[in-house]
Structure 1
Amino acid sequence: MNIATIFGIIAGIFVLCAATFAATDSVQVFLNGPGLAIVLGGTIAATFICYPLREVMRVMGLFVSAFRAEELPIGDYIRDIVTISKTVSKKGEEHLEKSLKSMENEFLRDGLQMLLDGYSKQELEEILNNRIQQYHEQESNAAGIYRTMAALSPAFGIIGTLIGLIAMMQTMGDDITRIGPAMATALTTTLYGALFANMIYTPIATKVERRVEERTILMCVIRDGILFIKDKTPAPIVMDKLKGYLPPSKWSSIGAR
């Protein structure tokens, strides 16, 4: 589990609950079923209008993945690429074929397979760059959907509030004492809209964008490593060049060249 995500959610709920209990004696005033339905239902419906069904359904699954701990071991991949570079320089490219099936990273496996198939350096670079670009664009679109939902949610909160105010205006002549509670109920819809936008949609979009950048960096490391292997670059040079993708504080964790 992603500890930071869980901690943030628990801390946010705690702060909101504490502020709610401190602000009023009647917590039930913050419970508004119709308002919640307007915000959630309206946001989801508008999102389906904006984007294709397949993209929206795929993005919904990212909500669950946000709770998973995921730290890409870029340093481990750099060590693996350096090891592969040493193997190729000593035994030749044909010794890679047996180890390809055990590689979990599909991008690395496909790149090395193309290397064994005899692709030129220019062809390798073009294909790998194209895959990196396509991945970055597609996954960035997923974050864009959550950004859209973050923009739509407060708007539907206002719509729900307007609906509540209209209903309140119709009953003003009957009993003026009902204006206060009705106004409070109407405003909770705006609260829901702002809450979902800033506690759920925007944080998830930010988390998705961060993971996309991390995976893109990893793919760039793999791409450069494969091109270095193609050029038969000495392993120490491969190590020094790939270390540039990491912050200096992590250089020592990779180990000796």
Structure 2
Amino acid sequence: MDLEKKNIGKDLGTPIGIVAGLIIILIGIYLQKTSATFPQKLNWFVSPSALFIVIGSTFAAAMVAIPFNSIKTIPAVIGITVRSLAFDYLAVIDKMLELAAIGRKDGLFALEKHAREIEDPFFSNYLEQATFERDSKKLKANMDMEMNNIMSRHEAGAELFTFMGTYAPAFGMMGTVIGLIVMMYGFDTGGSGSVAEKFADLLQGMATALITTLYGVVFANLVFLPIAAKLERRSINELRHKEIVAQGILMLHAKEHPILIKEKLMNFVPKELKSKKSENKDSD
């Protein structure tokens, strides 16, 4: 019995959100009133050198700030954001109540065969451990240790993208400063051409230099920081699921009454899910 419902589909929110953000930016560029055509406007915002400075410097800074092994996990972490992960807290609580009734009637050893039927490794392993471990403190310590390890792993993934979201705008500004320095040194006050033409070239160079700042802001606020926020939300949901399981197993181990178990575990369930369950009961 799989009580986690992991990988139940694709979560297209991340790619759709990024594409939608880019489309909104393109529409904003299109709506700007100038004599230039839309392709010409788009060309103003394309700069391979700016993209290289922002992305390259951001990844370089991330490698300085965090272990290189964490950098190598970027593809896997991004993959997590496009997988739809769901945790059925109410199903876990219902299962706990079923197991509590069996444990109180037939004893904890009777739960061992039920543990093998549960596909969630965390639930299955510690339910089985509860059948032979007499010391509840040791059982709790083992579960806490695994949950802390899970939390540390999740924090490392979110921290990586938070770092990049923090650094990207700064390196965008750095690229702009580089562009301005190159432009100033390249500005020729002598030679042929009117003053107006030279200042027009100067303004065009300043606009080009500012593109790097734009790239830094877009990557930070449309890609890196939203991914970090999604990873943090995923971590909260999974750890809530683990906490429900852990608390339930401890109460099963103590042979508490199912009513008390349900009352305590329902405190972990979000209000919207409680309301949904109440509505389903009313409709029945």
Q: Is the TM-score greater than 0.5?
A: yes
> 88-97 vs 193-202, which deviates more?
88-97
Q: After the TM superposition, which segments of 4 or more aligned residues of structure 1 sit over 4 Å from their partners?
A: none
Match of 1:11 in 2: 20
| 1:216 partnered with 2:231 | no
Match of 1:42 in 2: 57
The 5 A counterparts of 1:219-234 are 219-234=242-257
CA distance in 2 between partners of 1:27 and 1:234 (Å)? 67
Q: CA deviation at 1:230?
A: 0.4
| 1:239 partnered with 2:248 | no
For the structure 1 residues 104 and 138, does the alpha-carbon distance in structure 2 shift closer, same or farther, using more than 3 Å as the test?
same
- What is the identity, as a one-letter code, of the residue corresponding to 1:236? I
Q: Give the unaligned 5+ runs of structure 2.
A: 1-9
Match of 1:185 in 2: 208
Q: CA deviation at 1:13?
A: 1.9
The 5 A counterparts of 1:124-203 are 124-173=139-188, 176=198, 177-203=200-226
Bigger relative contact order, structure 1 or 2 (CA pairs below 8 A, ≥6 apart) = 1
- What is the identity, as a one-letter code, of the residue corresponding to 2:255? K
For the structure 1 residues 83 and 66, does the alpha-carbon distance in structure 2 shift closer, same or farther, using more than 3 Å as the test?
same
For the structure 1 residues 236 and 212, does the alpha-carbon distance in structure 2 shift closer, same or farther, using more than 3 Å as the test?
same
CA distance in 2 between partners of 1:36 and 1:249 (Å)? 42
Deviations 1:16-36 (A, max 9, x none): 110011225321010000110
> 79-88 vs 144-153, which deviates more?
79-88
Equivalent pairs, count: 256
CA distance in 1 between partners of 2:207 and 2:97 (Å)? 64
- What is the identity, as a one-letter code, of the residue corresponding to 1:72? F
The 5 A counterparts of 1:90-109 are 90-109=105-124
CA RMSD of aligned residues (A): 2.1
Q: Give the unaligned 5+ runs of structure 1.
A: none
Deviations 1:95-131 (A, max 9, x none): 3333333422221122112112324111111221222
Q: Choose 1 or 2 for highest CA Rg.
A: 2
Deviations 1:144-200 (A, max 9, x none): 221111111011111111121122112210672422322222110100001000001
- What is the identity, as a one-letter code, of the residue corresponding to 1:246? V
CA distance in 2 between partners of 1:164 and 1:249 (Å)? 51
TM-score, normalising length: structure 2 = 0.83
Identical columns (%): 27
> 49-58 vs 172-181, which deviates more?
172-181
TM-score, normalising length: structure 1 = 0.91
Match of 1:67 in 2: 82
Q: CA deviation at 1:7?
A: 4.2
Match of 2:3 in 1: none
| 1:86 partnered with 2:98 | no
CA distance in 1 between partners of 2:157 and 2:14 (Å)? 19
CA distance in 2 between partners of 1:222 and 1:63 (Å)? 27
| 1:21 partnered with 2:30 | yes
**Partners of 2:131 and 2:253 within 8 A in 1:** no
The 5 A counterparts of 1:48-63 are 48-63=63-78
For the structure 1 residues 248 and 161, does the alpha-carbon distance in structure 2 shift closer, same or farther, using more than 3 Å as the test?
closer
CA distance in 2 between partners of 1:61 and 1:167 (Å)? 39
